[in-house]
Every structure is written in structure tokens, then in C-alpha cells.
Amino acid sequence: MTSDISLSSPNLLPQEDADYLCSLIRTIPDFPSEGILFRDFMPVFAQAKSMNLLIQGLVNALPVMPSEFDYIAGLEARGFLIGTALAQKLDKGFIAVRKAGKLPPPVLSQSYDLEYGKATMEIEKDLVKPGSRILIVDDLIATGGTAWAAMKLFESIDCSVAGFSFVMELDGLDGTAKLDNHPMSTMMVMPA
């Protein structure tokens, strides 16, 4: 197992499966810039076994029961891969939360702050009915800006965010503090 990556709970997967899944995540120092440890999650998607384990682990870690949400919203871009597989497994609809300029109009937009500027996330207008309950998923929670923007987008159309589900959490960055105490789960924890 990669020594600095571990499951957030030992009950999510059998230990042998957890070790295998964690071993596939590569750590690349100084990418995309000096001082950053990039967590390359893409090898997990390259094998059916690891993909199946990932989705089962996410189901086991859900922060709320499936009956408590109507849609899964995946954040660009790896959240699309995870979210669609999870939505299919749980028989839910899927909503893509995209970076600005990627969806045809009309769209709803929410800007948020980055360390180096601003970014904007969008969803297609009228795709989700008011009153819908949304589970927001992504591969990683770091500073929490993207997840916060998605939450605000759905709240702006009178949807409720049932919770958040992340594969990985970078420990020590406190990104979850931005998520208004919504139910949240992470499958793996690693140092920032």
C-alpha cells in the first residue's frame, strides 16, 4: 500500500482490496508546479477490478441513504467518471457540473475564489426541478471551492444538497469547512 494513503474507515473494503486500490494511486512531486504533490488517480480507471472496488467503496461510504437523494452531480472532470458509474449503480440520474463555457445556453453559473484568481462552474438551466435532492461527488476535496460552487448552484434553484461524496481528501486543507456541515464522506485520506 502507498504509505501515505489510507481508507478513511477500515470497514469500507476488505484490507486486501483496500491495499490494492490505494497502491494504484501515484504521487508525482512538483506537478503541475514546484511544491505540489499531484495524486494521479487515473490508473484506478484502467482496470475493471479497481473500478468496481472504487464504486463499491463509495457505495459503502455514502454519507446518506440512496433514498435521500434524487440525482448525483459530478464535478468536472473526474467527478464525471465516478458520478456516472455511481449513478448507474444506484439507479439515479446524473448531472454534470462543468467549467464555464462548456455547456450550451441557457446555463446557471457560480463563481468562486482560487488561490490565484477566480473560476466559474455551470449547470444546464431547467435540467433539474426545484425541490430535487442532490448528492455531489468528485475525486478529491482539497480547498473545497469547486464543491462549494456546485452546492451554491443547486441551492440557487431551490434544490437541496443531500451530501457530498469524495474519493480522496487532502488532510489539513480544511476544504470541508466550506460545505456548511452537510453530510460528507471520503473514501481515502492523504496528506496535502
Residues recognised as catalytic: 78, 115
Nearest CA among 53, 123, 124 for reference residue 89: 53
**Strand pairing class (133-141; 117-124):** unpaired
User: Which residue pairs, CB below 8 angstroms and at least 24 apart, start in 108-114?
Assistant: 108/153, 108/156, 108/157, 109/153, 110/149, 110/150, 110/152, 110/153, 110/156, 111/149, 112/145, 112/146, 112/148, 112/149, 113/145, 114/145
